[in-house]
Structure 1
């Protein structure tokens, strides 16, 4: 199975013309970006890849801006010092409890570990 896969990869690497999956035109290997891991050309030619990447970045940027609405309070932006103090103390308690749970779990799995990192 692995030998068959390697033979197919070698055949693909030897091809001189590839068809772009976007514009369906045949181009030489130089018109495609090459994957570092496989050594094979990308499915889209360079021009189609650039245009699709630009379009994706443009829509993604707008989507991220819309999703950025915060559904939780940012402690440092709270004006009331008493409430801000309560929230900071609670956050510190939560973090301390998580660290302690992780230490206990690590000690249970590796008894020789005594908290030294």
Structure 2
């Protein structure tokens, strides 16, 4: 005898990546294209949509520090700022030269001349 299992009665839960609460799937939006649940619950998704993107307030504290980086123009000491700028220029020049050499080597290695 085969039993038919109704998936409507089963409660599948998911964890919201913002608030960390484990909620049933009815508390999550469903992507129309992929038919997958959103990673944020409906409440957190609404909060994210309402706050300005640039404030970064919607990002969890652990993730906020991951995205921080040095901005050379915001360095107060002019000598340190100049050293950083010169270092960046040197690295860019080396990268351009390396790419130029690689292109020349690739052209020299080609044997399919017309």
| TM-score normalised by structure 1 residue count | 0.44
| TM-score normalised by structure 2 residue count | 0.45
